[in-house]
Chains A and B, each alone.
Chain A
Amino acid sequence: MAAPESGDGNNGAARMVTLISSDNTRFEVEAAAASLSQTLQLTILDGGGGGGDGIPLPNVDSATLSKVLEYCIKHAPAAANGGAPNATAVDRAELERFDNEFVNIDQSVLYSLIMAAHNLEIEGLQSLVAKKVADMIKGKSPMEIRRTLGFPDPTPEEQAEMNAHMLEYGWAYE
């Protein structure tokens, strides 16, 4: 992968950092890609993560982390350009296509992803997944949403509560 030019340019070659997932898998990525995470960026700027000692991420498992890093690596060049005024339409379309395919995954992975994005403070990824989840909810009735998103069936009390609630908020259901 072409090394994205980092603004500070303190190291000539792309600097690598090691991330350690909760199940002790080590991931080595370029600092520029990892810096998409605001949380990691602070650590990396402090000089952490290089060499043998990685950055432990005890609340992200390896499957999720690899997915997160896939996103980061793809988006790092565009982010390095700072909003990329000179990005071509082709580049943008390519990123969009990547994003669409990227979130076309199982729900449980989506939730792990959004949690990881939240914890690592990767804004773009969080928005991407949030939008995907919102799309799964959009245009569906409450029952359909429940079915789609695998909500447990409501208990009878809950059902009664819901019914009362629906009466109260009838204006939103008409």
Chain B
Amino acid sequence: MGDKLEEWEHLVDIVLNINLKSVRDVFVWDFQPCGLYKRKYPVSWAELIGRMPIQTAQLPGQGRRTMEHPGMIVVAGGDRLSSLPDGLLHHIMSFMKARQVVQTCVLSTRWRHLWRSVPCLDVDQTEFETGVLVAGLREAWHKFEDFSVILLGTHVSIARLDTFRLRTCYSFGASKHASSWIRRAIKYGAQEPGVHQRERASCFKPWRLRRLHLSNVDLDESFAQHLRSGCPSLEHLELKSCTCNFRAIASDSLKNLSLKCCTCTELSQITSPTLESLDIQLRSSAAESGSSNKKARGPLTVTAPALACLFLYVTDQSLAGGVCLNQMTSLAKATILLWDDKCRFLWNSPNLRKLTLRHCKFARDSKKQAFKTKKNPPSQYHDLVDIRRKNLKHTEIIYRDDDIRQLVELLLRISANFPNNSIKLTRVDVAFWRGKARVTHRARRRLTRTYAPPLSGALPTIALLAVAPPRAARPATALLATSSSSARSSLLPASLRPCSPPCLHTRRELERPDLRACRLIQLRSCASSVPPSFASSPTSACAPLRQALPVRQPRAAELCSRSNLRTRIALTRPACVPAPRRAPPVARPPRVHAALPSSTCVPAPPAARPLHSCCLAELRPRPDLPRASPH
């Protein structure tokens, strides 16, 4: 560092010794390496600059002087833009597309070679497109191809860039050509352009690329290999509409990985110890939807212990083997959309705070199907939900199938184990989605969100489940499920269907075709405050249920009660519940409930049990529904 310092002193002397009378402004720039300057130089920044009375270089007249000294350029004359340092001009260029960047070389002598050292390159086919006609497109493609081949082949080496974006459109085999550029860049990339080919191959150096964005490029195994061994500084990788013919993505430096609309027929592993954000949106390819390719497809295993943010959107065809997510100890936010019936995932993610599951089905017919891979045997599945995750605060589950038995069972376990969790459960009818099959993924998300808690008449069925946070360690939980006319008893898990006399009534109620709502409340551990309208059922009435409930502390499990429409209406009456939306639900023994006329209030219970809070959906009375009980 010593000689650098000396060099710098020397430089300052030169600047200060310039005859200031003849110079209007001297522009000194480029303190690179900045680190040296900031950390090693003994004088403070302000002081140093203070010693230089001048900032901008502009010699009077048309005289032009360039001082050939490292670290300093005195630019004279010309426009003010050109007087900016290379670093800033490169920064400006990083917002421009590649062709325009190259074209700046004719602006002036100052700009002549600037583009050659640009650290960021954005090669985009759309820059060449002028018309929409096929002929125009073909011409554009030819221009783009020529440009890219020359630029990437002889002038700029991808390996020496900091950021590289390559975007091609679907036309004329673009992805195949683009892949050959990448292949060549991998093979000969790290060298100075113009070096003889034989020399290049002999001294391979790793890329120093930090960001790589590829769009519509065919990528093969060599790319994945290079990623593993040849890109030690790659942090951001974005592949969009790419065809990925490799099995694994592995990297020791990757922080953000995004696979958008990619076709990954063989991808089975993503491994990176540093990965923080993973965004997978896979598209099913026409070729793959055939049965031949589906055969022995293992699950996609993601191993990323540092992952904090996960977005997963896969369709049936794109990941036939399912997904396996392991050991994500720092995962904080996860959104998972699965249209597949074979999804399985294993969370060992104690820091997970928000989890969104969309269209997950845990099993269609039997447990066997759901757990058939050895990656995720049933025992582990139980472990999954047995872990206490106090940090999990919000879970949103959006599903679309009628049969959610497994789901409800899972939720009951979750509610026992994740005391701070609040779960929002939204059911979206299959027909509803099918009708909107063309809407984009984004639109789907919006629709779902819009329709979630406030029940709209247009939405066929919505179930909402809320688990109230307990005040102390003893959880009081409530499960509330509301469904419209299409609801069936299958909404409840089989184990919850009671069989003894007091509960037969429940079953009958649930299986009624005109059932509008059912509520399932599971109460445990009562605290001191007792809401006035809250009623509890005698423990004896629910003995069979208590046994059936998959809760971890059977003694604490008091009741599973449900109500149909009448109860709901009763609940919404201002006389009964002043603030319907905030009021705790009323849990009563089925018999009491059945005997009540629809208009009466709930009688005060002998031993009321508290429920700290509970979310209720659709408490508004619906005039179109029958009020009187047929019983």
Q: What is the interface of chain A, defined by CB distance below 8 A to chain B?
A: 22, 39, 42-43, 55-59, 107-108, 111, 114-115, 118-119, 126-127, 130-131, 133-135, 137-139, 141-142, 145-146, 149-152, 154, 158, 161-162, 165-166, 169, 171-174
B46 to chain A, nearest CB (A): 5
**Within the complex, which residue of B46, B88, B105, B150 is in contact with A126, where a contact is CB–CB below 8 Å?**
B88
A151 touching B80 in the complex, CB below 8 Å, given contacts A42-B38, A169-B102, A171-B147: no
Q: A150 to B574, alpha carbons, bound, how many Å?
A: 74
Q: Contacts of B77 on A, CB cut-off 8 Å? A: 152
A146 close to B107 (CB less than 8 A): yes
Contact in complex: A130, B107 (CB < 8 Å):
no
**Chain B positions within 8 Å of A151 at CB level:** 78-79, 81-82, 107-108
Q: Are A111 and B84 in contact (CB under 8 A)?
A: yes
A158 to B108, CA, bound (A): 8
Task: Determine whether B91 belongs to the interface, using a CB cutoff of 8 Å to chain A.
Answer: yes
Closest to A121 in B: B34
Let me know if B92 and A137 touch, CB within 8 A. Answer: yes
Whether A56 contacts B106 in the complex (CB less than 8 A), given A111-B80, A130-B92, A174-B143, comes out as: no
CB pair B88–A130 under 8 Å, yes or no, is yes
The CA of A79 and the CA of B109, in the complex, are separated in Å by 40
26 contacts between A and B (CB under 8 A): A22-B55, A56-B50, A57-B46, A58-B53, A59-B55, A107-B81, A115-B55, A115-B84, A118-B88, A126-B91, A134-B92, A134-B93, A137-B96, A137-B100, A137-B104, A139-B100, A141-B103, A150-B81, A151-B81, A151-B82, A151-B108, A165-B105, A165-B112, A171-B150, A171-B151, A174-B143
Supposing A115-B88, A171-B146, A172-B147 touch, asked if A130 and B102 sit within 8 A by C-beta, the answer is: no
CB contact list, B244-285 vs A, under 8 A: none
Chain B 28-72 interface 0/1 with A at a Cβ cutoff of 8 Å (1 = within): 000000000010000011100110110100000000000000000
Q: Does B394 contact A (CB under 8 A)?
A: no
- Tell me the complex Cα distance, A95–B126, Å: 30
Name which residue of chain A comes closest to B80, CB basis.
A111
- Smallest distance from the beta carbon of B45 to chain A beta carbons, Å? 6
Cβ contact within 8 Å between B107 and A142: yes
For A165, give its contact among B99, B106, B150 (CB under 8 Å).
B106
Q: How far is it, in angstroms, between the C-alpha of A149 and the C-alpha of B52 when the chains are bound?
A: 28
Smallest beta-carbon distance A18→chain B, Å: 12
Which residue of the partner chain, among B87, B103, B104, contacts A118 with CB atoms under 8 Å? B87
Count chain A CB atoms within 10 A of each CB in B81, B100, B143, B147 and give the residue with the most: B81
Chain B nearest Cβ from A79, distance in angstroms: 20
Beyond A107-B81, A108-B80, A151-B107: 10 further Cβ-contacts under 8 Å? A57-B49, A58-B49, A118-B88, A127-B91, A146-B107, A150-B80, A151-B108, A169-B102, A169-B105, A171-B147
Check if A149 sits within 8 Å of B81, measured CB to CB: yes
B80 contacts which of A107, A135, A172 (Cβ < 8 Å)? A107
A139 to B96, CA, bound (A): 9
A contact residues around B151 at 8 Å (CB): 171-172
**A43-B46 contact given A137-B100, A158-B108, A162-B106, CB 8 Å threshold:** yes
The reply to whether A134 and B95 form a contact with Cβ atoms under 8 Å apart is: yes
What residues on A are CB-neighbors of B44 within 8 Å?
43
10 closest Cβ pairs, A-B complex: A134-B95, A172-B102, A130-B91, A130-B92, A111-B80, A162-B106, A58-B50, A59-B55, A142-B106, A171-B150
Q: Is residue B350 contacting chain A, with contact meaning CB distance below 8 A?
A: no
| Minimal beta-carbon separation of B50 from chain A (angstroms) | 5
**Interchain CA distance A173-B146 in the complex, whole Å:** 11
Tell yes or no: B448 within 8 A of A by CB: no
User: Interface extent on B, as a size class?
Assistant: 35 or more
In whole angstroms, what is the CA distance A165 to B111 when docked?
Answer: 12
- The residues of A that contact B532 with a CB separation of less than 8 Å are none
Please tell me if B94 contacts chain A, counting CB pairs below 8 Å: yes
B206 at the binding interface (Cβ < 8 Å): no
**Which single residue of chain B is at the shortest CB-CB distance from A117?**
B88
Tell me, rounded to whole Å, the shortest Cβ–Cβ distance linking A116 to chain B. Answer: 10
Chain B residues with CB below 8 A from A174, complex form? 143, 146-147
A39-B45, A151-B78 known; A58+B146 contact, CB < 8 A:
no
Closest residue to A114 on the B side, CB-wise? B88
Are A161 and B109 neighbours in the complex by a CB distance under 8 Å?
yes
Q: How far is the CB of A33 from chain B (nearest CB, A)?
A: 18
Q: Closest B-chain residue to A19, C-beta based? A: B46
Nearest CB in chain A: distance from B31 CB, A: 9
Of listed B77, B106, B147, residue having the most chain A CB within 10 A = B106
Contacts of A161 in B (CB 8 A): 109
Given A42-B38, A133-B81, A151-B82, also A55-B105 (CB < 8 A): no
CB distance from B342 to the nearest CB of A (A): 33
Contact B100 A138 (CB under 8 A): yes
By a CB distance below 8 angstroms, the chain B residues around A149 are: 79, 81
Q: Decide: A152 near B88, CB < 8 A? Known: A43-B46, A171-B147, A174-B146.
A: no
Smallest CB separation, A5 vs chain B (Å): 21
> In the complex the two chains form, what is the Cα distance from A152 to B147 in whole Å?
29
Q: Are B46 and A58 touching (Cβ within 8 A)?
A: yes
B83, B85, B94, B99: which contacts A130 (Cβ < 8 A)?
B94
With A58-B46, A165-B112 known to touch, is A152 a contact of B91 (CB < 8 Å)?
no
Inter-subunit contact A59/B49 (CB<8 Å): yes
CB-CB under 8 A from B45, the residues of chain A are 39, 42-43
Residues of B close to A111: CB separation below 8 A:
80-81, 83-84
